[in-house]
Amino acid sequence: MADLKCTIAGIKSINPFWLASAPPTDKYVNVVRAFEAGWAGVVWKTLGEDPPVINMSSRYGVHFNSARDVIGINNIELISDRPLDINLQEIRQVRDEWPDRVIIGSMMAPIDERAWKELAIKIAEAGVHGIELNLGCPHGMCERGMGSSIGQVPEMIERTTRWVREAVDIPVFTKLTPNITNILWGAEAAKAGGAHAVSLINTVNSVISVDLDAMAPTPTVDGKGSHGGYCGTAVKPIALHMVAEIARNPETSDIHISAIGGIENWRDAAEFISLGANGLQVCTAAMLYGFRIVDDMIDGLSNFMDEKGYKTIDDFRGLAIKNTLDWNELNINFDTKAVINQDSCIECGRCHIACEDTSHQAITFDVSADGKRSFSVINDDCVGCNLCAIICPVPDCIEMQPVKNDLPYLTWPQHPKNAIRDID
């Protein structure tokens, strides 16, 4: 059996699955229920002292697909609105009752050294294993000079991280905002400030939809709306990219990563680990399906590792990094063509329509005497874009097959058209 134990920022965890700082980690009863379900750790919902927090009603907006599956949730909820003393007392109680599980205390404060240090000390004294600095919240708190208003300024990231490092002697996680041009700015600043790990991504700033009757963004509050933080499976591609950028950047490749963003099943987890994540945080999936989803995640990841021969998470952590390149490093001599399996084809014609209308007119069809349609690929016109395989409703009916050639690996900068000419 695969060993799912992992270590992040020096903290040992029975598996890589933690709950992220959010409503599911707001109080004792939620956290205990999560631990009973098998979660290895939680990041307690963000704590603060000043100013006081009053949350809105309602708080969540949703983005559905055509089948009414939830793609993402937008929230306008702020940090914990429960008294700090109660939160700290409950943290102590859970720590005593669940000594083998991890509790990270999330915190937020204004740009004031004393405020950060005093709050960090209080949280550390409650017995948490580490502290996460919430520098990513994109709504409500940032208007008060906290959250992403700090996380978008590298100098302030470095400063707040250093303040907390000076105040406590437990691991410090700096939580990064995706609402920035280059995630490496935040990661490098966190490392410069002494962070043991970075957590990412926080939510993406968004307006998720508009109520066309009320003519206001959703969720609506007394007929009005605002921007909020977008999370869920839709943000996974953004999170994967940002995790990979940090893991493959020489300046930050040695800092531990607690990956967050659209993790809904074991495959999502394995993808983040393959791109360098040391541990994982989940929120939206737990809110949509309940805490028991961790069973499927644990079983699925364990089965995957057994099938691949990986005994520990470190056996495949970061293996995809070596194959994650800048565009200009890819091989332009590599070629693929679409191949249609006639036995699997259901004659829907979607591949033809998509290619004919929006791509390269590389799929044609013939109609037999009995009315049966037969679709085929014009190889000379096929550019290997994958669109037909993506939109085909029959799994593996259309495959992209590499074209054999003897051409060397050639990058775009190496192409003769881009050779630097001697103007003399």
> Which two structure tokens, joined as six digits, stand for 131?
């502290």
Taking the C-alpha atoms of residue 17 and residue 228, their distance in angstroms, rounded to an integer, is 26
SS3 190: helix
Catalytic one of 137, 351, 355, 382:
137
Taking the C-alpha atoms of residue 129 and residue 143, their distance in angstroms, rounded to an integer, is 30
Taking the C-alpha atoms of residue 416 and residue 424, their distance in angstroms, rounded to an integer, is 19
Active site residue 355: no
Taking the C-alpha atoms of residue 1 and residue 189, their distance in angstroms, rounded to an integer, is 39
Q: Nearest 5°: CA angle at 118, between 170 and 173? A: 35
Cα separations (Å) of 288 from 72, 125, 227, 292? 10, 33, 21, 11
Q: What backbone torsions phi and psi does residue 367 show, to the nearest 5 degrees?
A: -115, 125
Instruction: Identify the H or E element spanning 259.
Output: strand 256-260
Cα separations (Å) of 237 from 179, 248, 268, 322? 14, 17, 10, 18
Give DSSP secondary structure letters for 59-98.
-EEEEE-TT--EEEEEE---S--S-HHHHHHHHHHHHHH-
316-340 burial: b if 16+ Cβ within 10 Å, else e: bbbebbeebeeeeeeeeeebbbbbb
Q: Nearest 5°: CA angle at 188, between 186 and 192? A: 115
Cα separations (Å) of 53 from 56, 63, 141, 411? 10, 27, 9, 53
Taking the C-alpha atoms of residue 272 and residue 248, their distance in angstroms, rounded to an integer, is 13
Strand positions, DSSP E, 99-255? 102-107, 130-134, 172-175, 197-200, 204-206, 210-211, 216-217, 228-231
Taking the C-alpha atoms of residue 398 and residue 384, their distance in angstroms, rounded to an integer, is 12
Taking the C-alpha atoms of residue 227 and residue 319, their distance in angstroms, rounded to an integer, is 37
* Parallel/antiparallel/unpaired status of strands 210-211 and 102-107: unpaired
Residues labelled catalytic: 137
